[in-house]
Each structure stands twice: as C-alpha cells, then as structure tokens.
Amino acid sequence: MGLDARAVGERLQARFGNDIVAVEADAADPWAEVAPRALADVCRFLRNDPEMRFDMLHCITAVDYLWTDPKKSPEYPPHVEVFYHMSSMTHRHRFVVKATLPRWKDDVPGELPELPSVGSIWNTAQWHECEVFDLSGVRFTGHPDLRRILCPEDWEGHPLRRDYVMPQEYHGLRGR
C-alpha cells in the first residue's frame, strides 16, 4: 500500500523545502502547490519514488482567476493556476499538484506565462499541455511540439481566459 496524502505532502516538503508552497491533504482531491521552477523535478520525484509511484497522469487543467471585483484584487491578484491530476496504479492512491502563475509573463500583457513541460515524465502530458496552451494560454517550455489542437492554428486568443472575447467573424463566417 502506498502513502496517504498527508505523507505524500510531508515527503514533498522534506525533499523540496520552500518549493512546496502549500499542502492540503484533507481536501476532496488532496493537493500540493509547487513553485513553477520546481514543477518538473517534483513530478519526476512523484513518479519515480517507489512508495508513491504516481505513474498515471489523468489530466492537466488551468483556471484563469481574473477578478472583476476590485475588492478582491489586493489580496488575491489575477493569476492562472495549472493543475496536474495523477494517480498510482501500483499503490491505488491519487494526488493533485498545482502551480500558480502570473496571468502574463513578466507582467507584459499578451506574453503567455510559462511552465516546464512534464511530457518527458508522462507521455500523455504532451497532449494535455497542448490543450492547456490552446485554450488557456500557458506556454510549456521544452515541449517537443506545442501547438493548437482544438482551435485553428490562426485563431487569436485563448477561449478559457476570463477576458477572452469571441470574434464576430472568422474567415467570413459570422460568430455570435
């Protein structure tokens, strides 16, 4: 039997120290927030450690937190959170890793935030990273073929961004 979520969090904190921003072992989906710079190393550790063996990545998702209520902004600035849902087929346990990014790289509007690719850790991540890039506008550095897979190559913007505006027309076709 593998480790429970609390033990997974403790092992991550012992190994990666301040690169583990937070752990919530009692959540419905237990999770750890990881500093973006440490993401690939943490994921590799989670997959390779014999007591954890997170050998299956189910999905990668992203949520854009762009607040329209100015009262929330000072304490919780706009940002993007990227979630990695994984499980161990060997030990029958699951865990979520998340990384928080600014909405724009270096606070330059239009410059997509970046995370290291984990496609070399789990092959399935390559497809999920393309989906998150396409729909949520997160660039995965080191990805072997990062491109749009759901929207056309010449599509402008990222449809799951809170400030996305659906085009009125696309190649002569009327939108909404």
Torsion angle (degrees, nearest 10) of CA 135, 137, 140, 143: 50
Count of structural domains, the chain: 1
Q: What is the reported pLDDT for 166? A: 86
Residue 70 has pLDDT above 70, yes or no: no
- pLDDT at 29 (0 to 100): 96
- Model pLDDT, residue 107: 87
Q: Which residue's entry shows tokens 């060997």? A: 90
- pLDDT computed for residue 140 by the predictor: 98
**Which pLDDT does position 68 carry in this prediction?**
62
What is the per-residue burial (b if ≥16 Cβ within 10 Å, else e) of 92-126? ebbbbbbbbbebbeeeeeeebbebbbbbebbeebb
Q: Any idea what the CATH number is for the domain that residue 95 is in?
A: 3.30.460.80
Nearest residue to 52 (alpha-carbon basis) of 92, 98, 96? 92
Output the pLDDT for position 168.
85
Q: What is the mean pLDDT of residues 83-93?
A: 96
pLDDT of residue 170: 83
Task: Find the length of the chain.
Answer: 176
pLDDT value, residue 66:
84
Distances (CA, A) of 150 to 128, 163, 164: 11, 19, 16
The reported pTM is: 0.93
Listed residue (66, 89, 69) closest to 79, CA to CA = 66
Inter-residue contact 122 to 129 (CB < 8 Å): no
Q: Quick check: 2 and 51 in contact, CB under 8 A?
A: yes
From residue 5, give the alpha-carbon distance in Å to each of 29, 31, 94, 97.
Answer: 9, 8, 8, 12
Domain that holds residue 117: 5-174
**What DSSP element (H or E) covers 13?**
helix 5-16
